[in-house]
Structures are given as structure tokens and as C-alpha cells.
Amino acid sequence: MIPLSERLRPLKLEELIGQEHLCAPGSILYQQINQGRIPSMILWGPPGVGKTSIAHIIAHTLDRPFYAISAISSGVKEMRDIIEKAGRESGVILFIDEIHRFNKAQQDALLGAVETGKITLIGATTENPSFEVNSALLSRCQVYVLKALEKSDLEKLCHYALESDEILKQAQLQLEETEALLRISGGDARKLLNLLELLGSQLPPKSSITDEMVMQIAQQNIALYDKKGEQHYDIISAFIKSMRGSDPNAAVYWLARMMAGGEDVKFIARRMLIFASEDIGNANPNALLLANATFEAVHKIGHPESRIILSQCAIYLASSEKSNSAYMAIEDALSLVKKTGDLSVPLHIRNGVTGLMKNLNYGKGYAYDHAYEQQFSGQEFLPEALQGSKIYEPGPNTRENEMRKLLKSRWKEKYGY
């Protein structure tokens, strides 16, 4: 069966709910469509606010050949096939959903066709195109910003679906409360319609839609992964805690949950990069190198291939020795700074670059460590009020035990020797 969101997809601007600033009579996009001349464009806005619908409306209104691909599942080959077809057709519109997921090479493959007018590109993105779309491609496109749907828009959509869809009409559902519907859908019209369709299939005819009923059915049937909602934070928390607990199986599972929910792969890579220092640190310095390489690779490769790189890194981080000593050291240092204020830099480690500074004893008494045996002089570097303090405590792991041994041999009483 065709999903409700597709059955109700508008074919005219007048049927679109929301985005009046772009699509109402007299607006810029409305005028361009009516004149039959549209530029290549990027539609930027939250999920489920009408980006795909606007692309379909443009193609339908102008009666132009229309091809749609998703950057999640398509690559350069699919694009080139469409561009080749465009050479044999006139006025081809290519719609690319989630265009920000294309890497630089994939975006570059579009440039020539867009520049020569062989295709009219309509890209949809939930991310700021200034950061996620190549500047060369972006300069050839008009950017239109779509707004989040208002509560009144979403309620209007609910009533429209219940009253106009032939299948839902048969259920004769009465919309009594909307708070749960709107909260679960998170302003995403597609999610809202999917939820209404689920209610229509499970509630007895002529039932009233209440918040309690919506929550009960939703929790039983939907994996509610919202990239900006509570589930988003719960699952990233489960992912981090699984790696911290050295469980690669759970780490990969929660990684898969995030990816299946459409989480931004760069967000996942960013969190692993932080984890590599916060939870592994000097217990295994290579973890930071691998996490950084993963972060860079994800930017270059994009989805879906980046799933393999993320999996490799997550397994490595989960299977590594752990230490939060670097994290604790900076937290303790920040706490000291807050308590003690702006303590003076000791004169012997100030930079005496002028005659006046040298006359004020800047740099006097500084011991150049490389001039000493084992490149260690034993001089103090902390402010006078903090001298003798220990801020960094090596963790109980193989690498940091070696660091502790070295620090004990040099700083003696500071490290309990």
C-alpha cells in the first residue's frame, strides 16, 4: 500500500501546508514557478517540512522530466546515468534528497551539468549548506530556507488527512487531543502522517484520538529515534557507555541504531573523537589518532560507506584500555583556576624579550632543561601559591604506569616516591 504521506503529497503550491513565505501567491518561488523559469536550488530546512513536496510540485506544475535520488543510497554512477539521460531530454529536474551526505567528489560530478543547464538541480538538506555543500556547487544554486511547521500547520494537516484520505476516512477517527501526536512527530509532517496511519490501522472505527492512546500505540510500534529528541540523547549515551564499558558488541549495535535512525555520521564521528581523549587518553594515544582519521574519512567518504569506518573505530575504542586521567587533570586544573584566580606567572619562566623586562628579572634563573642530565632540571613551573601541587594522576594501565614510573623518578614527593 502507498504510505499516507505519499497519498497526500500535494501537487500544487496551493495545497502545500506551511512555507507561505516561499510558496504563497506573490512569493519569489511562486512567481518563478508561474513564469516557468526556476533556478537550480538548495532547499534547507528541518525534516518533514515540505522540501520533497516542493520539488514534486515544481516538476508537476512545469511538466518537466523528474528524477529523484537519495544521497544515502545513491552514488556517482546513478547521477551520471541521469545526466546522460538529460542529454536526450529537455528540462530535466534532478532532485537529490539529503544532498549534504554526498562527498566532494559526488558533488563535483554535478557541477558541469548544473553549470551548462543540462539539469536543474533541486537539493534538499537539513544541514547548513554553507558548510555541507561545495562552494562551487552552492554558487550555482539559489538557497531557499524552509521554516519549521507551526502547531497550527500540523493540526491542520491532521484534520486534512483524517477528512480527505479515502482509507483514513473509513476509520472515522475523531481528533480529540493532539499534544502527543505533535510531540512524537517533532514537527516532522511525514512522521505525523505515519503515526496517523498507524492509529487508523489499529484503533477501532469511530475511536477518539487521545494523548494516552497515541502514547500507548506509539511505544508499542515505533522506534522513536528523533535526532533532536530524547531518544537521540539516550542512544548516543548508550553508545558512549558501551565503548567505555569495553563492550564492542553493544557499541556496534547502538551505532547501527543511530545510523538506521538517520543520525548524522559526522556527529557520531565527532563524539568518538571526544571519547578517544576523555575515556582512553594516554592509556592508548593511538585511539585519538584513529578517531581523528575516522572523523576526516567520514567527511570525505560520506554515507553509506562511512558505516564501515565508524564500525572499525567503535570496535577499536571499545576494545582499548581506558583512562580518564587527562579529563580529570583538566577538570582539576580548571577548578584550581576558579578557586585561586589569576595567579602570577613566576618570574623565571616569563619571557624577557625587552631590556625593561630583563631589568625586572623576567627569565632570571630559568633552567634550560636540555642542558641537564636526562633533560630534566627539577625547577617549578606552577605559580608560587600552587608549587608542590599534583594535578595529573596517571591511570592504572600499562602505558600510564610507565609514565608514573618516570614522573616518580623525577618529581619524587609529588608522585609518592
Q: What are the tens digits of pLDDT across the range 329-351? A: 999 999 999 999 989 999 999 99
C-alpha torsion sign, points 394, 400, 404, 409? negative
State how many domains the chain has: 4
Angle at 366 between CA 363 and CA 370, to 5 degrees: 130
Question: Cα–Cα distance between 199 and 168 in angstroms, integer?
Answer: 9
Mean pLDDT, to the nearest integer, of 133-137?
A: 88
Per the structure, the complete domain to which residue 353 belongs is given by 337-415
Q: Looking at the structure, do residues 26 and 93 belong to the same domain, yes or no?
A: yes
Last residue of a domain, one of 180, 199, 221: 221
In the chain, % of residues over pLDDT 70: 96
Q: How many residues does the chain have?
A: 417
pLDDT at 352 over 90: no
Q: Which helix (H) or strand (E) holds 104?
A: helix 104-116
Q: Domain with 175 in it: what CATH number?
A: 1.10.8.60
CB-based burial of residue 219 (10 Å sphere; 0-12 exposed, 13-18 middle, 19+ buried)?
Answer: exposed
Last residue of a domain, one of 102, 121, 145: 145
Q: How confident is the model at residue 228 (pLDDT cuts 50, 70, 90)?
A: low
Q: Looking at the structure, do residues 156 and 134 belong to the same domain, yes or no?
A: no
Question: Cα–Cα distance between 118 and 90 in angstroms, integer?
Answer: 8
57, 16 contact by CB (below 8 A): yes
Angle at 84 between CA 79 and CA 88, to 5 degrees: 140
Residue 417: what pLDDT? Answer: 52
Average pLDDT over the chain, rounded to an integer: 89
pTM of the model: 0.57
Give the position of cell 570496535.
315
Question: Cα–Cα distance between 108 and 5 in angstroms, integer?
Answer: 32
| Candidate from 69-83, 145-159, 391-405 with smallest mean pLDDT | 69-83
Q: Looking at the structure, do residues 204 and 235 belong to the same domain, yes or no?
A: no
Burial 391-416 (b: 16+ CB within 10 A, else e): ebebbebebbeebbeebeeeeeeebe
CB half-sphere exposure, 363, CA atoms < 13 A: 10
Within 10 angstroms of residue 319's Cβ, the number of other Cβ atoms is: 14
Residue 53: name the closest of 189, 148, 181 by CA.
189
149, 191 contact by CB (below 8 A): no
Using only the alpha carbons of the chain, give its radius of gyration.
29
Question: Cα–Cα distance between 197 and 148 in angstroms, integer?
Answer: 22
Q: Which helix (H) or strand (E) holds 267?
A: helix 265-275
- DSSP secondary structure code for residue 415 in this structure: G
Q: Looking at the structure, do residues 158 and 132 belong to the same domain, yes or no?
A: no
Q: Looking at the structure, do residues 25 and 139 belong to the same domain, yes or no?
A: yes
Last residue of a domain, one of 145, 163, 195: 145
Question: Cα–Cα distance between 94 and 86 in angstroms, integer?
Answer: 9
Q: How confident is the model at residue 76 (pLDDT cuts 50, 70, 90)?
A: confident
Q: Looking at the structure, do residues 78 and 127 belong to the same domain, yes or no?
A: yes
* Residue-wise DSSP of 339-366: HH-SPPPPGGGS---SHHHHHTTTTTT-
Q: Looking at the structure, do residues 183 and 244 belong to the same domain, yes or no?
A: no
CB-based burial of residue 147 (10 Å sphere; 0-12 exposed, 13-18 middle, 19+ buried)?
Answer: middle
Q: Looking at the structure, do residues 48 and 127 belong to the same domain, yes or no?
A: yes
Q: Looking at the structure, do residues 271 and 368 belong to the same domain, yes or no?
A: no
Mean pLDDT, to the nearest integer, of 342-370?
A: 90
Q: Which helix (H) or strand (E) holds 13?
A: none
Contacts of 22 (CB under 8 A, 6+ apart): 28, 29, 30, 54, 144, 146
| Candidate from 186-190, 316-320, 387-391 with smallest mean pLDDT | 186-190
Q: Domain with 65 in it: what CATH number?
A: 3.40.50.300
- Inter-helix orientation angle 230-244/265-275, to 10°: 40
- DSSP secondary structure code for residue 14 in this structure: G
Bigger pLDDT: 79 vs 63: 63
Residue 266: what pLDDT? Answer: 87
306, 298 contact by CB (below 8 A): yes
Residue 248: what pLDDT? Answer: 96
